[in-house]
Amino acid sequence: MAKTEIPTDIKEVSDLPGVGTQAAEKLNTAGYKTLESIAIASPAELMEAAGLGEITATKAIKAARDSLDMGFESADKLAEKRKLIGKITTGSKALDELIGGGVESQSITEVYGKFGSSKTQLCFETAVTVQLPVEKGGLNGNCLWIDSENSFRPERIIQVAEYLKLDSQKVLKNIFVARAYNADHQSILAEKASELVKEKNIKLVIVDSLTSQFRAEFIGRGTLSDRQQKLNKHLRVLAKLAEMSNVAVLVTNQVMDRPDILFGDPTAPIGGNIVGHAAKTRLYLRKSKESKRIAKLVDSPSLPDGECIYTITENGVEDAKDKE
Ligand code: ADP
Ligand code: MG
C-alpha cells in the first residue's frame, strides 16, 4: 500500500471505518480497546465481540494495521528499529553473554525447565534489574507481571533489590502484578497490557508461567488443537506487544516427559512448535550441584548455541564463583 493511502486520522477504535460509537463500545467491553488489539485480531473475533459483519471487520482490521504502519517495512527501517532494542541484565555476566547481552526488548524470551530449575528466580531478578539505569544493565522502566502459578514473592524482590542497593519499597511499587486465574483470563490480561505499558513506563512483561493454565484446562488429546490455537493467539498478542511497545517479554514454561525420546534428554517444553516459533530466545534451564544452574541457549536466529553456569543465592541470580 502506498504511503499516501495510509489513513492518518485514525487515532482510536471508534475512528475505524464502519465502527460506530456503539460497536466501539462493544469492542471496548470485549477487551479490544486499542488499535493494536484490533490490528492483531481476526475478523471472526471482531464479528463475535461486536456483531460486526465480516466485510466491516476485515476493513477495520486493515485500517487499524495501516494506521499503525504494519506490514512490509524496508530493511533500513528495520535496522533503525533494532537499534532501539534494550537489554536487561540477568544478574549473571555469563548468562547475559550467552543471550547476547541480556533479556531483549522487541521480542519474547522463553525460559523452560523442570520445577526448581530457577525460572521464577530469573523473573524476580529481571523485574528488579529492569528498573536500573541503562548503564547498569536496566532499561529505566517498570515491570508488569502476569502470575498464573501464584509464585510471585515480594520478599524475594526485596532481597534482590537490597543487594543491588535499591530502595526496595520503590522497586516493589514499580512492579504491577496480576494473578491469572485461567487461560482466558491470562489472555485478556495480556491484551490489556498494551494500555498499561504506556501508562506505567513498563519495559518488561513477565508471564510466569505461560502454559500452566492452558495445560490444566485442556487435558487429553481431543482438546489439544483448541489449546494450541488459544496459546498461539496469546503468544501473538505478546509478540506484538514486545515489538510495538519496545518492551521485553519474558515467559516461563514447564517441560513434559516425552516417552518417544529414547536417547538424550527425554523432556520437551510445553506447547511445542507454537511456543518455539513465537519465542526468539529460548533458554533451557536445569539444576546442577547445589545452588548452581545450567542454562542452554536453544535455536537462536543470531547467536551460537551454548551453555553457561550461574548460581541462585539469597541475592538473586549471580555468576557462579567456580565454573565447574
Ligand atoms: P522454577 O523453575 O520452578 O520456577 P524457582 O525459580 O522457583 O524454580 O527456583 C527455586 C529454587 O531457587 C529453589 O529450589 C532454591 O534453590 C532457589 N531459591 C529460592 N529462594 C532462594 C533464596 N532465598 N536463597 C537461595 N536460593 C533460593
Ligand atoms: Mg516457578
pLDDT digits (tens, 9 = 90+) for 73-84: 788 888 988 899
Q: Are residues 233 and 313 in the same domain?
A: yes
Atom of ligand 1 nearest to the CA of 121: 6
Q: Identify which of 270, 265, 309 has the alpha carbon closest to the alpha carbon of residue 291.
A: 309
Provide the β-strand partners of residue 113: 285
Which atom belonging to ligand 1 lies closest to the Cα atom of 122?
6
pLDDT digits (tens, 9 = 90+) for 225-247: 778 888 989 999 999 999 989 99
Q: Considering 68, 89, 113, which residue would you say is the last residue of a domain?
A: 68
Where among 68, 89, 107 does a domain terminate? 68
Q: Identify the CA nearest to 110 among candidates 288, 309, 252, 261.
A: 252
* Protein residue with its CA nearest to atom 6 in ligand 1: 118
Q: End of a domain among 68, 90, 106?
A: 68
Does 288 score more than 70 pLDDT? yes
Instruction: Tell me the pLDDT band of 31, cut-offs 50, 70 and 90.
Output: confident
pLDDT of residue 33: 86
HSE-CB at 197 with a 13 A cutoff on CA atoms is: 25
The answer on 89 and 55 residing in a single domain is no
Q: Mean pLDDT score of the chain, rounded to an integer?
A: 90
| pLDDT number for residue 5 | 46
The answer on 91 and 38 residing in a single domain is no
| Other residues' Cβ atoms within 10 Å of the Cβ of residue 158 | 17
The Cβ of residue 236 has, within 10 Å, a number of other Cβ atoms equal to 16
> Does residue 265 lie within any of the structural domains?
yes
For residue 85, what is its C-alpha cell? Answer: 532494542
Instruction: Tell whether 244 is covered by a domain.
Output: yes
Same domain, 155 and 37: no
Residue 49's φ and ψ, nearest 5 degrees, are -70, -35
In angstroms, what is the span from residue 123 Cα to ligand 2's centroid?
9
Q: 97 and 64, same structural domain?
A: no
Which triple of cell numbers denotes residue 30? 470485549
Q: Is 212 in the pocket of ligand 1 (CB under 6 A)?
A: no
Same domain, 63 and 160: no
Pairing mode of beta strands 202-208, 248-253: parallel
pLDDT of 323 reads: 54
φ/ψ (deg, to 5) at 245? -105, 5
Same domain, residue pair 271 and 147: yes
Q: Residue 259: inside a domain, yes or no?
A: yes
Does 76 map to a domain? no
The answer on 273 and 124 residing in a single domain is yes
Task: Give the 3-state secondary structure of residue 308.
Answer: strand
Residue ranges near ligand 2 (ion) with Cβ within 5 Å: 119-120, 151
**Residues 111, 222 within the same domain:** yes
- pLDDT band, very low/low/confident/very high, at 68 (cuts 50, 70, 90): confident
- 218 and 294 within one domain: yes
Domain boundaries, position 193: 81-319
Q: State the total domains in the chain.
A: 2
Whether the CA torsion 72, 75, 80, 83 is positive or negative: it is: positive
Going from the C-alpha of 65 to that of each of 52, 108, 189, 251, the distances in angstroms are 17, 21, 22, 26
Q: Helix or strand or coil: residue 242?
A: helix
Among protein residues, the one with the nearest Cα to ligand 1's atom 10 is 116
- Cα 248 to ligand 2 centroid, rounded to whole Å: 19
**Residues 46 and 126 grouped into a single domain:** no
The conformational region for residue 150 under phi > 0 = left, psi -120 to 50 = alpha, else beta, is: left
In a domain, 5, yes or no: no
Which CATH number belongs to the domain containing residue 38 in this structure? 1.10.150.20
Q: Is there a domain that residue 179 lies in?
A: yes
pLDDT reading at 4 higher than 70: no
Q: Which of 59, 132, 137, 129 is nearest to 315 (CA)?
A: 129
Q: Is the CB of 118 under 6 A from ligand 1?
A: yes
Q: Return the best residue to mutate from 312, 313, 314 for the ligand 1 pocket (most ligand atoms within 8 A of CB).
A: 312
Looking at residue 72, its pLDDT comes to 72
Contacts of 229 (CB under 8 A, 6+ apart): none
State the average pLDDT over residues 174-185.
Answer: 96
Residue with cell 471505518: 17
Q: What is the percent of the chain with per-residue pLDDT over 70, rounded to a whole number?
A: 94
* DSSP one-letter code for 260: T
Residue 7, in any domain of the structure: no
The atom of ligand 1 lying closest to the CA of 252 is 4
Pick the residue with more confidence: 168 or 61?
168
74 within a domain of the structure (yes/no): no
Statement to judge: residues 37 and 105 lie in one domain: no
What are the Cα distances from residue 105, in Å, to 5, 82, 182, 301, 308?
31, 9, 26, 15, 22
CATH number for the domain spanning 261: value is: 3.40.50.300
Q: Which amino acid is at 94?
A: A
164 to each of 85, 157, 316, how far by Cα in Å? 24, 11, 10
Asked whether 115 lines ligand 1 (CB < 6 A), one says yes
DSSP 8-state class, residue 102: S
Distance CA 273, CA 228 (A): 10
For the chain, what percent of residues have pLDDT higher than 90? Answer: 63
Whose atoms come closest to the Cα of 147: which ligand?
2
Q: Is 305 in the pocket of ligand 1 (CB under 6 A)?
A: no
Dihedral sign, Cα of residue 158, residue 152, residue 320, residue 313: positive
What digits encode the pLDDT tens for the residues 100-124? Answer: 999 999 999 999 999 999 999 999 9
